[in-house]
Amino acid sequence: MKRIFNLKNIAAVMSLLMLLGVTGAVAQKKKPVLKKKPVVKKVVVKPAEPMFTVDSGTVMRVRMNSTISSKTAVVGQKFTTTVTEPVYSSTGVVVIPTGSIVTGQVDSVKQASKGGNPGELDCSFISVKLPNGRTRTINASLTDLTSGKTTSDNEGGASASKMKNRKIIFIGGGAAGGAILGAMVGGGKATAIGAAIGAGAGIIGEMMMKGPDAEVKSGTEFGLYMNQPITLPRFAEATTPTP
């Protein structure tokens, strides 16, 4: 009986040893798990793009792309003009090239009325989009392009000699329609723009006759006075639009 018990103990010990051996062999076959090192991405820092300033007082020469009239225009109405000469920074770098699109908006409208009162259009200019797609907000208002009102520099840029706190708007004038730029604050002689203006422009003899509407035709050229400076990089053509 004692012998049988010993044999059972030996068998149990042998089984335990065999189990431990198998477990060890399996453990040895397992490959160690190697932790992957985190991938560090290299950050490429682009050099800052040089910026150039267009001073306040600079005049942009533009041309109307469509016709607006005090007869049909409404406050908030948008329209566009095209820059006809490049605009230079204070250091002589082209930042707004010919062909750029300037967006304007109608700020107030006064329709022509009886008594010879002409129509009036007050407009401001709020943004410029370059041919490469870059867009900037601007603050510009109407001005004229007659000699004595603007001066040119060696690079072809233009700036107004003095605004004299004038508020310039489009006013109706001419037997064939059209408009003139009227200096509404501080006096000043109105400057003819657009279609030919008759000798009696804006003067109505019969007080019961309705005055002319202010109609600014497509193709009309005038100036935009920069009320605030803007900064832009040197203009360069781009294959894809730049925000």
Parse the chain into domains and list their residue ranges: 54-233
- Cα first-last separation, the chain: 97
pLDDT category at 62 given cuts 50, 70, 90 is very high
Average pLDDT, the chain: 76
Closest to 139 measured CA to CA, from 107, 110, 108, 164: 107
- Does residue 101 surpass a pLDDT of 90? yes
Structure tokens at 166: 């004038």
- Tally Cβ neighbours within 10 Å of residue 39: 5
Long-range CB contact pairs, 156-160, < 8 A, 24+: 156/85, 156/86, 156/88, 157/58, 157/87, 157/88, 157/92, 158/58, 158/59, 158/61, 158/85, 158/223, 159/55, 159/57, 159/58, 159/59, 160/57, 160/58, 160/59, 160/223, 160/225
Q: What is the pLDDT of residue 199?
A: 38
Cα torsion angle, 53, 56, 62, 65, sign: positive
What is d(CA 243, CA 236) in angstroms, rounded to the nearest whole number? 14
78-83 and 87-88 as β-strands: parallel, antiparallel, unpaired? unpaired
- Does residue 103 surpass a pLDDT of 60? yes
- Does residue 178 surpass a pLDDT of 60? yes
CATH of 54-233 given 2.30.30.100, 2.40.128.260, 1.10.150.530, 2.40.110.10: 2.40.128.260
- Does residue 134 surpass a pLDDT of 90? yes
- Does residue 64 surpass a pLDDT of 90? yes
Tokens 């870059």 sit on residue: 134
Most confident of 24-28, 100-104, 221-225: 100-104
Per-residue pLDDT tens digits for 2-14: 455 555 666 665 6
- Does residue 232 surpass a pLDDT of 80? yes
Q: What is the pLDDT of residue 230?
A: 94
What is d(CA 151, CA 19) in angstroms, rounded to the nearest whole number? 102
Segment 199-209 shows an average pLDDT of 46
Segment 153-172 shows an average pLDDT of 62
> Side chain identity at 6, as an amino acid letter?
N
